[in-house]
Structure 1
Amino acid sequence: MRFDTVIIGGGLAGMTCGIRLAEAGQHCAIVSQGQSAIHFSSGSFDLLGHLPDGTAVSDPVAGIATLARQCPTHPYAVIGADSCARHAGEAPELLRRAGVPVAGDSRRNHFRITPLGKTKATWLTIDGYLTTEEAGRLPFRRVCIANIEGFLDFYPEFIAEEFNRQDVECRFGNFNHPDLEQIRRNPSEMRSANIARVFDREANLEALSESLRKLSEGCDALIVPAVIGLNRNDSLAYLRSRVDTPIHLLPTLPPSIPGIRAQQALQHRFRALGGEYFLGDSVLRAETEQGRVRRIFTANHGNIPFEAECFVLATGSFFSKGLVATPDRIVEPVFGADTVYAGGRSEWYTLRFFDRQAYQAFGVRTDAGLRVMKSGSALENLYCAGAGLSGFHPVQEECGAGVSLLSALHVAERILKN
């Protein structure tokens, strides 16, 4: 099978790169081993929340210029501040074209409300999810926090405790529906995705709007868990048109509806542009000649190779097995790429869970153009994008989604120029 570009990995970086290339007319394939970490998304995409030294960032674009001085090996520093700023302007438009409606500004972080009611700085948030422009200041004074009877992945008491600290008066309400009884019999089935399938039905969504209308009396806003809109785009608009009180969604524990919706939208966009998506397949080996990757072979296609002018490694980090830790080294399992990691295993981590862990910055070694290094030399047509890159701490720096989006767009730009 012959393509212009083959992308290995179907997460945020892989899908973004594939969509951008397909929009430019390339015939692309994505080989994805399984569902990606997007399914754990809370509805927001971070660009930069803290510098490596821990300083909080309010203007991510300005922060990237400072970050490059503190950490020259960070992917943003490798891409360059000017290119990062340009890609940060392109990414929201790409997401919107794919049917992921986001709002935000790369020059000013806003604050999303987490599943526990806390505020967290972020760059882009999917429409409908509760945000505020100032930390510690919510845009209402009396709310009803509504939950489904028996739903354990949403925590009204914790949310109310945080809201009370911001002088917001909270009361609780429950809603139910007879069609939920079947999944309620098994606690492991009472999850957001299964509940959302129930409320995808028009009659059930209408019944939900009536329950929320009653709960909203005397409140400035309704806070509802994100258990609607799995397979329909208009669920929130439908409810808002029938309930006078503003409705705001809060994400739940994974699997999360906003993450699943984003993944589905990106896949649909890629396929609509002519891309071929191979889900449930894994790359077993690659053949290289004269410093170029010529073809890869996958588990499902046996001796039928994937051939392309360019390849993109977007397999992620340890969570998705894009990187594998042995007792003494870090391995990239597809191409045997050079990796960046600390010398001894005792240096990889600390016993304090919330410390800045060294292993989070381990990853694939690349050159200045994000081409993958192997045996000290760059493979001419193999690029790396996303969480598998080295040199950054996605949790402490709050930049994981941003690195995936911006590196994917940068790689796509280089492929198109070359």
Structure 2
Amino acid sequence: MQFDVVVIGGGLAGLSCALRLSEQGRRCAVVSNGQSALYFASGSLDLLAQLPDGTPVAAPLDALPALAQQAPQHPYSLMGASQVAALANEAQQLLQRCGLAMQGDSRMNHLRVTPLGTRRATWLSPQAVPTTPLDAPLPWRSIALLGIEGFLDFQPQLAASSLQRQQGVDVLVGYLHLPALDRLRNNPSEFRAVNIARVLDMPEQHAALAEEIRRLADEAEAVFLPACLGLEDDRALQALQQRLGKPVMLLPTLPPSVLGMRLHQALRQRLVQLGGVLMPGDRALRAEFDGGRVTALYTRNHGDIPLRAPQLVLAGGSFFSNGLSSDINGIREPVFGLDVYDRAERADWCQRDLFAPQPYLQFGVRTDAQLRAVRQGQALDNLYAIGAVTGGYDPLQQGCGAGVSLLGALHVARHIVEQGGDA
């Protein structure tokens, strides 16, 4: 099977790269093994929140020179500061073309309210999520923080306690009871955010939902709900705000995440509209090489029929998605046998302190400045690696995982287009 580009991985990095290439007229296939990590994400996207030495970052683009000194193998350092700045703007435009209305700016981080009621620095957030500038308090002095009766994936008391203690906000806690959810409530395995959203998004439920919120929170200036609304878009949320006449904001829940799923679905839908080929439930197994080029890719579902393309992009994720594997002999990339950043002694992979930066999070595929994957010390001519499968950075401690995925995807797409599709 012949394509212009084969992308391995259907998460944020893989879909964004395939999307941009499809916009440029390339015929792309996306081989996706399983559920995207976006289903477990908050829906907000980080660019850079902290330097490796622990220094908090307010202005991500201004911090890139210091990042390059402290972490020369970080993907941003490899791409270069000017490229990162340009790609950050391009990424926001790409999301807009997918119908995703995000708040934020690459020049300055903002704070989003977390499900625990704390605030965390980030780059872009869905419009439905409550945010503030870095140096500003919440704009409301009284908030109704409402859970859903029987829904265990969101605990409003925890968020209320943090908001009251850290922000000095008056918080009223309550629980919504909606008869329309009784069928789901009877089965705990089905009483999850996604299934609740499918019910509450129906127009016939909006009046009852608004009346229940009004009963519990009539005096509050704003209402915070678990993100169990708006699986496809913000229409249900907007209708609710119009009925109540006050802001209604959403806080992420435990996975599966409605806000993360909406992001993933918007990218997928846009890719399909552009003619991209999705191969869900398939897994890349092995490749054939001719010198420094990949000539064929074999997958589980296609057996002995190879996928062929002048360019390939590896975006298979890290250990969570089996893009990397580990055993007694070390860390490896299982499909192409690529060189990886790791540590020889297993005792050096982790810190005993659970909350300390963990060394293994920086393990991953080595690349050059174009993000071409390195194998046996040499960059391959036509294989790129992007996103969580790459090494040299800590996505959690540095708060940069989504940015590395998005910007790396666009960086690689630009190189492929500049080459005319062939290396």
Q: Could you state the TM-score of these two structures normalised by the residue count of structure 1?
A: 0.98
Q: Residue 264 of structure 1 corresponds to which residue in structure 2?
A: 265
CA contact (8 A) 1:177 1:204 kept: no
How many pairs are equivalent? 418
Contact 1:57 1:63 in 2 (8 A): yes
- SS of the residue corresponding to residue 288 of structure 2 reads strand
User: What is the distance in 1 between the residues matched to 2:109 and 2:375?
Assistant: 38
Choose 2-11 or 284-293, whichever is displaced more. 284-293
Unaligned residue ranges in structure 2 (runs of 5+)? none
Deviations, residues 327-364 of structure 1 (Å, cap 9, x unaligned): 13111011111111112111111111111111111110
Measure the CA separation in 1 of the matches of 2:139 and 2:43.
Answer: 19
Name the aligned partner's letter for residue 179 of structure 2. Answer: P
The one-letter code matched in structure 1 to 2:114 is T
Amino acid at match of 1:173: G
Distance 1:174 1:358 in 2: 41
CA–CA distance in 2 between the matches of 1:284 and 1:376?
22
Structure 2 match to 1:309: 310
Give the 3-state SS of the residue equivalent to 2:189 in structure 1.
helix
Separation in structure 1 between the aligned mates of residue 351 and residue 146 of structure 2, nearest angstrom: 40
Q: Map of 1:164-243 to 2, 5 A cutoff?
A: 164-165=164-165, 166-243=167-244
**What's the counterpart of residue 14 of structure 2?**
14
In 2: Cα distance, 1:367 partner to 1:298 partner = 26
Q: CA deviation at 1:216?
A: 3.1
Specify the alignment match of 1:30 in structure 2. Answer: 30
1:374 Cα deviation (Å)? 1.1
Q: CA deviation at 1:232?
A: 4.7
State the partner residue of 2:125: 125
Task: Name the residue aligned to 2:386.
Answer: 385
Cross-structure match for 1:275: 276
**More moved, 206-215 vs 243-252:** 206-215
AA aligned opposite 1:371: R
1:42 is the counterpart of 2:42 = yes
Instruction: Supply the AA of the counterpart residue of 2:221.
Output: D
- The AA in structure 1 aligned to 2:129 is Y
301-310 vs 14-23, which moves further: 301-310
Equivalent residues of 1:200, 1:232 under 8 A apart: no
Alignment partners' CA distance in 2, 1:409 and 1:134:
28
Could you tell me how far apart the structure 1 residues matched to 2:256 and 2:291 are? 44
Q: Which moved more, 1:104-113 or 1:169-178?
A: 169-178
Paired amino acid for 1:145: L
RMSD: 1.2
The answer to whether the Cα contact below 8 Å between 1:33 and 1:280 also exists between their aligned partners in 2 is yes
> Is the Cα contact below 8 Å between 2:58 and 2:134 reproduced in 1?
no
The structural deviation recorded for 1:233 is 4.3
- 5-14 or 140-149: which moved more? 140-149
CA separation in 1, counterparts of 2:300 and 2:84?
A: 36
Q: Which stretches of structure 1, 4 residues or longer, exceed 6 Å deviation after superposition?
A: none
Structure-1 separation of matches of 2:401 and 2:251: 21
Letter in 2 for 1:162: S
Amino acid at match of 1:2: Q
> What CA distance in whole angstroms lies between the structure 1 residues aligned with 2:151 and 2:341?
43
Output the CA distance in 1 between the equivalents of 2:313 and 2:20.
13
Matched residue SS, 2:309: strand
Matched position secondary structure for 1:240? helix
Give 1:135 deviation, angstroms: 5.5
Which residue of the partner structure matches residue 88 of structure 2?
A: 88
The equivalent residue for 1:396 is 397
Equivalent pair of 2:233/2:262 in contact (CA under 8 Å): no
- The answer to whether the 8 Å contact 1:113/1:119 transfers is yes
Q: Percent identity?
A: 49
Separation in 2, partners of 1:406, 1:377 = 23
Whether the 8 Å CA contact 2:3–2:308 is kept in 1: the answer is: yes
| Deviation readout 1:369-414 (Å, 9 max, x if unpaired) | 1111111111100000001111001111001111101111111111
| 1:119/1:135 contact within 8 Å kept | no
Once the 2 structures are TM-superposed, how far is the Cα of residue 234 of structure 1 from its aligned partner? 1.2
Give the conservation status (yes or no) of the 8 Å contact 2:203–2:236.
no
Task: Using structure 2 for the length normalisation, give the TM-score.
Answer: 0.97
Q: Is 1:338–2:339 an aligned residue pair?
A: yes
Secondary structure of the structure 1 residue equivalent to 2:389: coil
